[in-house]
């Protein structure tokens, strides 16, 4: 299967490496985009949409991008900060009064955006179907107590950050997160990205190919730890991402659908002072908030050193040596999708993949 698309001669090594990954079988199907100073210098795709190799990955193929969705959801929150609708250093309960329950009255907006709120998942029992009901799911998050002292450490909000951010967006704008993204981000930028997916998208969605089982027994973990409670609340089923119920839900942490081109179109705003082709999303001052370090140390859920700013992770040499030092930020999703914005070089790099592997 040949790799398709365009690649500036200076970046032929990127095409070569990508081609090798596809031909070796290490990659089932994926797309890669690199943008430098507002100009797309790499826009390539290749491989297959399915494990049976029946459908080639095409230019307009989209897929579930898992936690890369968070990079767009948190952009929405930063846009509201930029407009003065949210204050990152103010308790979230100012906008969402019910969230003050059970000792969360001092949890600030920045704690939600930096995974330091202490509310990294749902108290059990919780199912995937429960997560699809946004109103009920957010009420449950508002009612529960934090699992550690907010602001003292990060604990990756793996599945629920989109519900937390989405409720803040809804409270201050009256719009659901998926509508805000459609009308105020993807629409103005003509970016082929959405939270969830419509029935009209069905024939061009590359279904998720599940990974092998986890290499450890979840039940061996401390059942009172944030890691256990987060990963079990609820337990993720990769194949759920291929269902109609998943695609119709608003999961701002998990079920964004797009490809490298559309994600890069949106997130390159971070590297371009907040404006893309005349569409202003952020001011340089608000982008600067991203680099206000909120935590740096072993994440209580992922068990790796992470450094969080407001909305995005920041360079950490031990965990992500490939992320440039300086004014750079990043995050990605299950299986290896990844967004890196290097503000010093005015460069954005995005990789989106369909086959999930343990990374």
**pLDDT class for 296, splitting at 50, 70, 90?**
very high
Residue 354 clears pLDDT 80, i.e. is over it: no
Average pLDDT, the chain: 95
Supply the pLDDT for residue 129: 96
Query: Which tens digit of pLDDT belongs to each residue from 31-63?
Result: 999 999 999 999 999 999 999 999 999 999 999
**pLDDT class for 211, splitting at 50, 70, 90?**
confident
CB within 8 A of 166, min separation 6: which ones?
73, 134, 138, 176, 177, 250, 252
Write down the residue that tokens 């599945």 correspond to. 159
Residue 1 clears pLDDT 80, i.e. is over it: no
Peptide bond into 125 cis (omega under 30): yes
Q: Lowest mean pLDDT: which of 156-165, 217-226, 290-299?
A: 217-226
The pair of structure tokens assigned to 22 is: 């596809």
**pLDDT class for 262, splitting at 50, 70, 90?**
very high
Residue 26 clears pLDDT 90, i.e. is over it: no
Q: Edge-to-edge strand order for the sheet containing 62-64?
A: 194-195, 256-258, 62-64, 205-206
**pLDDT class for 214, splitting at 50, 70, 90?**
low
Supply the pLDDT for residue 210: 85
Q: What share of the chain is helix, strand, coil (3-state, %, to 5)?
A: 35, 20, 45
**Domains of the chain (ranges, CATH numbers):** 59-308 (3.40.710.10)
Supply the pLDDT for residue 94: 98
Write down the residue that tokens 């090594």 correspond to. 13
The pair of structure tokens assigned to 55 is: 């459908």
Tell me the mean pLDDT in the region 324-335.
94
* Closest alpha carbon to 167 in 90, 99, 100, 254: 99
First-to-last C-alpha distance (Å) of the chain: 25
Rounded Cα distance between 179 and 182, Å, is 5
Rounded Cα distance between 78 and 45, Å, is 30
Supply the pLDDT for residue 357: 41
The three-state secondary structure class of 138 is: helix
Rounded Cα distance between 309 and 290, Å, is 5
Query: Which tens digit of pLDDT belongs to each residue from 133-147?
Result: 999 999 999 999 999
DSSP H helical ranges for 222-335 = 226-231, 244-248, 260-267, 284-289
> Distance from CA of residue 43 to its chain's centroid?
20
Supply the pLDDT for residue 352: 82
């Amino acid at each position: 299967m040949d790799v398709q698309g365009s690649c500036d001669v200076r970046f032929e090594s990127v095409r070569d490496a990508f081609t090798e990954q596809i031909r070796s079988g290490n990659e089932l199907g994926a797309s890669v985009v690199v943008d430098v100073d507002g100009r797309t210098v790499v826009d390539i795709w290749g491989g297959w949409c399915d494990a049976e190799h029946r459908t080639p990955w095409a230019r307009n193929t989209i897929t579930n991008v898992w936690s890369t969705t968070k990079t767009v959801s948190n952009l929405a929150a930063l846009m509201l900060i930029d407009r003065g609708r949210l204050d990152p250093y103010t308790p979230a309960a100012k906008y969402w009064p019910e969230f003050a329950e059970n000792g969360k009255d001092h949890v600030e907006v920045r704690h939600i955006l930096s995974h330091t709120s202490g509310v990294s998942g749902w108290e059990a029992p919780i199912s995937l179907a429960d997560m699809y009901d946004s109103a009920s799911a957010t009420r449950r998050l508002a009612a529960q107590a934090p699992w550690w002292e907010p602001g003292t450490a990060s604990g990756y909000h793996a599945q629920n950050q989109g519900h937390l951010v989405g409720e803040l967006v809804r409270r201050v704008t009256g719009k659901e997160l998926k509508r805000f993204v459609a009308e105020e981000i993807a629409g103005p930028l003509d970016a082929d990205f959405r939270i969830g997916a419509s029935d009209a998208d069905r024939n061009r969605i590359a279904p998720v190919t599940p990974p092998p089982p986890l290499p450890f027994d979840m039940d061996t973990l401390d059942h009172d730890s944030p890691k256990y409670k987060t990963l079990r609340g609820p337990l993720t089923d990769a194949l759920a991402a291929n269902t109609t119920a998943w695609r119709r839900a608003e999961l701002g942490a998990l079920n964004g659908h797009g490809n490298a081109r559309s994600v890069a179109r949106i997130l390159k705003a971070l590297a371009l002072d907040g404006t893309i082709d005349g569409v202003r999303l952020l001011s340089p001052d608000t982008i600067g908030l991203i680099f206000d370090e909120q935590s740096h140390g072993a994440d209580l859920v992922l068990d790796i050193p992470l450094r969080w700013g407001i909305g995005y992770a920041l360079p950490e040499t031990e965990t992500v040596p490939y992320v440039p030092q300086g004014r750079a930020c990043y995050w990605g999703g299950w299986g290896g999708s990844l967004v890196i914005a290097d503000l010093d070089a005015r460069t954005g790099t995005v990789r989106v993949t369909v086959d999930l592997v343990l990374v």
